[in-house]
Structures are given as structure tokens and as C-alpha cells.
Amino acid sequence: MARPRKQDSSDSDVKAQIIDAALRVIQRDGSVCATYRRIASEAGVSPGTMTYHFSTIQEIVAAAFVKMTNRIADQYFTRLGDARDAEHARELLADLICGELWKASGQMLLIFELYAFVSRHPDYTYIMDDWMARSRAALQVHFDEKTARALDALIEGFTIHNALSRTVVSRDDILALIRAVS
């Protein structure tokens, strides 16, 4: 087996550029329409450069979703890390569910694309597993493991419902449910 060559900073920059371009293409066109040519064009690189950094288109899409889920998990840690106590954490969770994070820059659309991608490519379920584990770890700063799992499901469920429904569940109702669960 050949040893992977050492990457210099320009290789890392190009790889990051490709991953960022992949996220834009996925958001605009969907993960099933993310092709080498579309991503290369969006990134301003040749398709050959793409194949140098990634073996398959699925690998590029997966790397884009890993970047997205890491960014979301980091935001969870940042927000929940600011909580003074469990009650403040509950308030912050309600803000998280009802806030702009999910609406900003088409975040929910990317999340839906991730669900579809993982459904079609089960080898990449680790992306969802890692994301859920990081989300629960952020919640476990203030809540036990079982409660963190339930709150994680609440967050996901309400963000999906509020993103896709004409009838939005209010922050007060969500906060009451968070309190009931925790």
C-alpha cells in the first residue's frame, strides 16, 4: 500500500476550498446533483484536482457534511457552555430551537440533504452518529445521558417541524416541553 503523501498548507487550502464548494452545490442543487464537474466549477479547480484529493464523489459529499455537522456541534458547545445552570441551559435550548441557526444560510436544507445522503449511502452513517454523539455531549454538560438523548430528539424534531410547517410551535410551548423532559 502506498504511503499517503504529506500535504502542505496549499493542499489543505485546496481541499477546504473543494469542501466549501461542495456545501454550496449541495445546498443549491442537492447532494444527488453534486458532481465532480459542478463542485470543481464552484471551487474554481480542475476535476483532476478533485480526484487528487478525493477518491469518490461520495467522499467529497461526506467531507462537506462532516464540516457542516462539526460547525453545528461547535455552536451547541458554545451556546450551552455559556449556561450558568440547568435552567439557563433550558432557556438556551429553547432559543436554539426557535432561533436563526437553522434558518441561517439554508442550514435546514443541508441537514435534510445529509439525511437523504446517509439514507442512500449507509457506509456514511458515522457522520450522523458522530454528530449526535457530539450534540449529546454538549447537552450532558447540564443533563444526564438519558435526558440529553431525549433533548437531542426534541431539538431535532422541533426544528424540522418548525422549518416545514406553517404552524410553528411557540418558544413558550417548546420551553415547557424541555422542562417536562429535563
The answer to whether 46 and 40 have CB atoms below 8 angstroms apart is yes
Instruction: Check residue 162 and give its pLDDT.
Output: 85
Domain contains 101: yes
C-alpha cell at 151: 433533548
Question: CATH number for the domain including 133?
Answer: 1.10.357.10
37: pLDDT strictly greater than 80: yes
Distance of CA 117 to the CA centre of its chain: 12
Instruction: Check residue 5 and give its pLDDT.
Output: 45
Domain contains 169: yes
How far from 98 is each of 80, 92, 101, 103, 143, CA to CA, in Å? 15, 10, 8, 10, 20
Stretch 76-103: mean pLDDT, rounded?
88
Domain contains 134: yes
Closest residue by Cα to residue 14 from 4, 24, 25, 22: 22
Domain contains 28: yes
The answer to whether 172 and 141 have CB atoms below 8 angstroms apart is no
What is the helix (H) or strand (E) element at residue 29, kind and residue range?
helix 9-29
Domain contains 71: yes
Expressed as residue numbers, the domain containing 166 is 9-181
User: Number of structural domains, the chain?
Assistant: 1
Domain contains 2: no
- What is the rounded CA–CA span in Å between residue 81 and residue 135? 12
Instruction: Check residue 39 and give its pLDDT.
Output: 97
- What is the rounded CA–CA span in Å between residue 107 and residue 43? 20
In this predicted model, what pLDDT tens digit does every residue of 139-148 receive, in sequence order?
A: 999 999 999 9
Domain contains 49: yes
Domain contains 74: yes
